[in-house]
Structure 1
Amino acid sequence: MKMSQARLASCIPVPMDQKALVGVIEKAKDWALMHGVGMRDKKHFTKDSIQIAPFVLLPSPFPRTEFTKAVELQQVLNELMHKVAHDEEFLETTLQNALQVDEFTASLYDIWVTVRKEGIVQSVSLGLFRSDYLMQEPDNNKIKQVEFNTVAASFGAISSNLPAMSRYVLRQLGHGDLIKNMPENKALSGLCGGITEAYDLFGVPGAVILFVVEEVSYNICDQRFHEFQISETRPEIVIYRRTLNEIYEESALNDKKQLILEGKPVAVVYYRSGYEPAQYPSSREWDARLRVERSTAIKCPSIQYQLAGTKKVQQALAAPGVLEKFMGGGASTGRVRDIFTGLYSLDFDDGGERAVEMALADAERFVLKPQREGGGNNLYGADVREALLRMRHSRERAAYILMERILPPLVSGYVVRPGGPVPPPLCDLVSELGIFGVIIGTKEKILCNRQVGHMLRTKLADANEGGVAAGLGALDSPYLLDL
């Protein structure tokens, strides 16, 4: 794809002197390993070692005004998604076409319907959310929302260590004066504070916290840091890690509808798995998910929060009049609308037909997105055209949305990867900002709502996807620019 050629200048001049570059990369790699900026090796998996997570050597420039805007909007977006999740009629209407063709979303939806019929026994939900943005270069580098993550929003923990690493690198290169332009990041303590606050609301002494994890956790540092932080700040709280299959085998509901694990009631269930179809290989995992939803445990996310995070909802919120329905008029509605890019339904109606025609005419302008979290699922460019031609008359197309492609500015930089060349080549990069939010509440009342930190994921300019865990992006820190 031909990218627009606008650029932001790197925080220090590049290319760097070869000798200085090799020296500082060696220091940075050791810093990363010793501070848990790491992941397990997918190719040679062992529980006895971690390797560095891919990272960008120099912090990437980001306009201060847009960073501040994203931070200030997070509480507004938290509340918006909370309201959406508790509007049964809106979720039903918005998802109805996708449910007919998307088995995974339909299975989540069925659980939601079941627990509502039986009567929801835990009205409190915990959301650890992340709203992701790219700068839109044709629009003066204003931020545009890529997506809103309501389940297993990752890298809050490792990202909290990134500014310290970038500060170390800048000092080693003799640019300590630049450190003042790097915002502090307290994502880890903020996210863990949300979990312990929900635990206290549950109010049962001796209750435990349950992390739902994959069969194999590659992103182990990011998950464990949450456990270590809670253990440090609240030593009395016991945390269990279980897969959905283990929850099926080892947990039960008692007569009070408490979820019991190893004889103890579970206060909070925090999902770091359960967001994609491959994580439910059999009916046992779905049964486990239903059991958790039926229980009094506070879920992060509750099933309705997860449904609110689907791409269909994102697209529906961009339609005229919908934000006003949830937020009223006023300035904050305009501010939220301002971060939306073009989002279009592919339902079988006039709007859907127009969207298909538009994308076939200029496929490079669009991204085709299914109802999935976790990266690696979207289609770009020629693939958009091919998929739409294939699905044009099939109900399957209703499971996707069409989104205008965001064209961010380029920055020259160095990506350090495990096993990669030293020194790495100077590459064109683009950065995606994620802002973390915590919300706790019931349908009637929001008990806690705050913005708690950020992450920056940076990828090669010609790579479509940017997931770090998927091996495509690299962890980074923002260097704030006054443009």
Structure 2
Amino acid sequence: MKMSQARLASCIPVPMDQKALVGVIEKAKDWALMHGVGMRDKKHFTKDSIQIAPFVLLPSPFPRTEFTKAVELQQVLNELMHKVAHDEEFLETTLQNALQVDEFTASLYDIWVTVRKEGIVQPISLGMLRSDIMLESRCPHTENQCAKHTPYCSWKQVEINSIASGFGHLGPISREIQSYVLRQLGHGDLIKNMPENKALSGLCGGITEAYDLFGVPGAVILFVVEEVSYNICDQRFHEFQISETRPEIVIYRRTLNEIYEESALNDKKQLILEGKPVAVVYYRSGYEPAQYPSSREWDARLRVERSTAIKCPSIQYQLAGTKKVQQALAAPGVLEKFMGGGASTGRVRDIFTGLYSLDFDDGGERAVEMALADAERFVLKPQREGGGNNLYGADVREALLRMRHSRERAAYILMERILPPLVSGYVVRPGGPVPPPLCDLVSELGIFGVIIGTKEKILCNRQVGHMLRTKLADANEGGVAAGLGALDSPYLLDL
């Protein structure tokens, strides 16, 4: 039986008048370029220019009650991730099958084992997390049976990102560009329904708080970056924010290869760069295999982990962010192990969609059979962050048939696909048609959290902002940096 997909109304009537639409898009594009709503062009890369980042012209509707629930739950999720990251036995047990077939995760795990054997010299970790969620809008009736069904049920978690959790700048600035558009269209009164977003200052506050905990005068902050940074605005605005609020702090940007060549550990195990100790290492790279093309990058990562620098994330935090851990947390009794049996445990369990192991056991075999019988219901996910890695629909079936009798399948998890409500809207893209066509869109909300602490004690735990990514309803992946999604912000509805 085909499920009916709900629809939410746009904040203003669409389609818009063509002349007004063209005029406001021209203004919005210039506003975007002049306020850092930009990325570097992948096809014609140059450091001397940026182009607009894809953005949705009007903010997308999101139920106020569900947004509030997500914001309120973030601190609980922060603490859960912190506890998971510091539970050596749980990580080892959960990842053991994936480690046999996933070389990348195994390499991260080997670094973790090495620093534990040597003795961890920096017990403090900085977690800058982003919990990505989607509204689940499945209606139990077919379209013929149900002309007016509930427009949503509740939100479900897609994943938690523990490394390079981007859009601290692009999240808040999306609200500003859409506020500008609404004012230009004569709907400035609607801006009150767009929640305030202080993600940039909140995330940067986490970095500077960790810097202060390091407590060495003259220490520096190190951003670990890719060889080529396309998402340059989002990264640089973090640096600009810190430089503005804490002008005495020097920030360096280095690739893993440059860290290998230019850094060293001194006799105090401090990471020394240009003669100065590094207080905080903030990763905007290092989350996928292509970012470790040789042993030099892995050696650099190990050197950082061996040091006294406070890492964002520490290696165990990155391991805690794997999909295998996400799947394991959904198993009966596991949340209770970390959280006890209170109301918060139930609230977290409610956000899990179906998550299934593909290990070689009875449960794994059942999951394979289930996915082969109805591949459209599922997403196949490897242990990766950064977008563009998941398999959908027919590709799920093809991959499982190929891997069915191979240990490779243990490197993946199976997740029930979330069916979010549709919204009609306009996506403005660099080089795209003007005016753009009116399209059906779906959105994914990310809630940012900052947590700082040791295994024994949490020193800081906050929810600090949000971001919204929106994509065409028929697109599988939604990463903006990957060129598939568009920047957006929530317009809260009282349903």
User: Do both share a fold (TM > 0.5)?
Assistant: yes
Equivalent residue of 1:110, what SS?
Answer: helix
Equivalent residue of 2:127, what SS?
Answer: strand
Tell whether the 8 Å contact from 1:363 to 1:382 is kept in structure 2 after alignment. yes
Please give the alpha-carbon distance, in whole angstroms, between the structure 2 residues aligned to 1:5 and 1:281: 43
Equivalent residue of 1:468, what SS?
Answer: coil
Deviations 1:238-296 (A, max 9, x none): 00000000000000000000000000000000000000000000000000000000000
Please give the alpha-carbon distance, in whole angstroms, between the structure 2 residues aligned to 1:318 and 1:200: 36
**Alpha-carbon distance change, 229 to 162 in structure 1, aligned in 2, over 3 angstroms:** closer
Deviations 1:1-32 (A, max 9, x none): 98843100000000000000000001111111
User: Match of 2:443?
Assistant: 431
Equivalent residue of 1:337, what SS?
Answer: helix
Please give the alpha-carbon distance, in whole angstroms, between the structure 2 residues aligned to 1:295 and 1:164: 33
Please give the alpha-carbon distance, in whole angstroms, between the structure 2 residues aligned to 1:279 and 1:4: 41
Tell whether the 8 Å contact from 2:128 to 2:448 is kept in structure 1 after alignment. yes
Deviations 1:73-99 (A, max 9, x none): 000000000000000000000000000
Tell whether the 8 Å contact from 1:151 to 1:306 is kept in structure 2 after alignment. yes
Task: Report matched runs for 1:192-231 at 5 Å.
Answer: 192-231=204-243
Deviations 1:205-234 (A, max 9, x none): 000000000000000000000000000000
Please give the alpha-carbon distance, in whole angstroms, between the structure 1 residues aligned to 2:2 and 2:428: 25
Please give the alpha-carbon distance, in whole angstroms, between the structure 1 residues aligned to 2:197 and 2:416: 30
Deviations 1:332-378 (A, max 9, x none): 00000000000000000010000000001100000000000000000
Deviations 1:441-471 (A, max 9, x none): 0000000000000000000000000000000
Please give the alpha-carbon distance, in whole angstroms, between the structure 1 residues aligned to 2:171 and 2:98: 40
**Alpha-carbon distance change, 41 to 344 in structure 1, aligned in 2, over 3 angstroms:** same
User: Match of 1:164?
Assistant: 172
Please give the alpha-carbon distance, in whole angstroms, between the structure 2 residues aligned to 1:78 and 1:21: 41
**Alpha-carbon distance change, 263 to 29 in structure 1, aligned in 2, over 3 angstroms:** same
Which residue among 389, 394, 401 is the counterpart of 2:401? 389
Tell whether the 8 Å contact from 2:5 to 2:420 is kept in structure 1 after alignment. no
Please give the alpha-carbon distance, in whole angstroms, between the structure 1 residues aligned to 2:355 and 2:55: 31
Equivalent residue of 1:179, what SS?
Answer: helix
Tell whether the 8 Å contact from 2:220 to 2:250 is kept in structure 1 after alignment. yes
Tell whether the 8 Å contact from 2:172 to 2:467 is kept in structure 1 after alignment. no
User: Match of 2:484?
Assistant: 472
User: Match of 1:139?
Assistant: none
Please give the alpha-carbon distance, in whole angstroms, between the structure 1 residues aligned to 2:353 and 2:466: 21
Equivalent residue of 1:58, what SS?
Answer: coil
Bigger drift between 452-461 and 164-173 goes to: 164-173
Unaligned runs of 5+ in 1: 136-143
Deviations 1:10-58 (A, max 9, x none): 0000000000000000111111111101000000001111000000000
Tell whether the 8 Å contact from 1:375 to 1:465 is kept in structure 2 after alignment. yes
Please give the alpha-carbon distance, in whole angstroms, between the structure 2 residues aligned to 1:408 and 1:229: 34
Please give the alpha-carbon distance, in whole angstroms, between the structure 1 residues aligned to 2:217 and 2:121: 19
Equivalent residue of 2:381, what SS?
Answer: strand
Which residue among 253, 258, 270 is the counterpart of 2:265? 253
Q: Give the Å deviation of 1:177.
A: 1.3
Please give the alpha-carbon distance, in whole angstroms, between the structure 2 residues aligned to 1:182 and 1:445: 35
TM-score (norm 1): 0.96
Task: Report matched runs for 1:405-444 at 5 Å.
Answer: 405-444=417-456
Deviations 1:89-130 (A, max 9, x none): 000000000000000000000000000000000000001100
Tell whether the 8 Å contact from 1:3 to 1:407 is kept in structure 2 after alignment. no
Deviations 1:380-437 (A, max 9, x none): 0011001001100000000000000000000000000000000000000000000000
**Alpha-carbon distance change, 162 to 22 in structure 1, aligned in 2, over 3 angstroms:** farther
Tell whether the 8 Å contact from 1:55 to 1:415 is kept in structure 2 after alignment. yes
Tell whether the 8 Å contact from 1:39 to 1:52 is kept in structure 2 after alignment. yes
Is residue 2:370 matched to residue 1:342? no
Please give the alpha-carbon distance, in whole angstroms, between the structure 2 residues aligned to 1:205 and 1:14: 56
Tell whether the 8 Å contact from 1:125 to 1:298 is kept in structure 2 after alignment. yes
User: Match of 1:60?
Assistant: 60
Sequence identity, in percent?
A: 97
Tell whether the 8 Å contact from 1:343 to 1:403 is kept in structure 2 after alignment. yes
Please give the alpha-carbon distance, in whole angstroms, between the structure 1 residues aligned to 2:290 and 2:437: 35
Tell whether the 8 Å contact from 1:55 to 1:474 is kept in structure 2 after alignment. yes
**Alpha-carbon distance change, 2 to 472 in structure 1, aligned in 2, over 3 angstroms:** farther
Tell whether the 8 Å contact from 1:4 to 1:407 is kept in structure 2 after alignment. no
**Alpha-carbon distance change, 166 to 345 in structure 1, aligned in 2, over 3 angstroms:** closer
Tell whether the 8 Å contact from 1:162 to 1:476 is kept in structure 2 after alignment. no
Q: Give the Å deviation of 1:154.
A: 0.5
Unaligned runs of 5+ in 2: 136-155
Tell whether the 8 Å contact from 2:38 to 2:51 is kept in structure 1 after alignment. yes
Which residue among 311, 325, 337 is the counterpart of 1:313? 325
**Alpha-carbon distance change, 47 to 481 in structure 1, aligned in 2, over 3 angstroms:** same
Please give the alpha-carbon distance, in whole angstroms, between the structure 1 residues aligned to 2:91 and 2:126: 19
User: Match of 1:140?
Assistant: none
Equivalent residue of 1:435, what SS?
Answer: strand
Please give the alpha-carbon distance, in whole angstroms, between the structure 2 residues aligned to 1:288 and 1:228: 26
Aligned CA RMSD, in angstroms, stands at 1.2
Equivalent residue of 2:61, what SS?
Answer: strand
Please give the alpha-carbon distance, in whole angstroms, between the structure 2 residues aligned to 1:45 and 1:165: 23
Please give the alpha-carbon distance, in whole angstroms, between the structure 1 residues aligned to 2:252 and 2:486: 29
**Alpha-carbon distance change, 210 to 164 in structure 1, aligned in 2, over 3 angstroms:** closer
Runs of 4 or more, structure 1, over 2 Å off, are 1-5, 161-167
Equivalent residue of 2:272, what SS?
Answer: strand
Q: Give the Å deviation of 1:165.
A: 6.3
**Alpha-carbon distance change, 93 to 165 in structure 1, aligned in 2, over 3 angstroms:** closer
Tell whether the 8 Å contact from 2:172 to 2:198 is kept in structure 1 after alignment. no
Tell whether the 8 Å contact from 1:131 to 1:147 is kept in structure 2 after alignment. yes
Tell whether the 8 Å contact from 1:28 to 1:165 is kept in structure 2 after alignment. no
Q: Give the Å deviation of 1:176.
A: 1.1
Please give the alpha-carbon distance, in whole angstroms, between the structure 2 residues aligned to 1:355 and 1:202: 46
**Alpha-carbon distance change, 43 to 162 in structure 1, aligned in 2, over 3 angstroms:** closer
Q: Give the Å deviation of 1:163.
A: 7.9
Please give the alpha-carbon distance, in whole angstroms, between the structure 2 residues aligned to 1:163 and 1:275: 21
TM-score (norm 2): 0.94
Q: Give the Å deviation of 1:164.
A: 7.5
Please give the alpha-carbon distance, in whole angstroms, between the structure 2 residues aligned to 1:213 and 1:474: 22
Tell whether the 8 Å contact from 1:311 to 1:370 is kept in structure 2 after alignment. yes
**Alpha-carbon distance change, 29 to 3 in structure 1, aligned in 2, over 3 angstroms:** farther
**Alpha-carbon distance change, 293 to 336 in structure 1, aligned in 2, over 3 angstroms:** same
Tell whether the 8 Å contact from 1:57 to 1:166 is kept in structure 2 after alignment. no
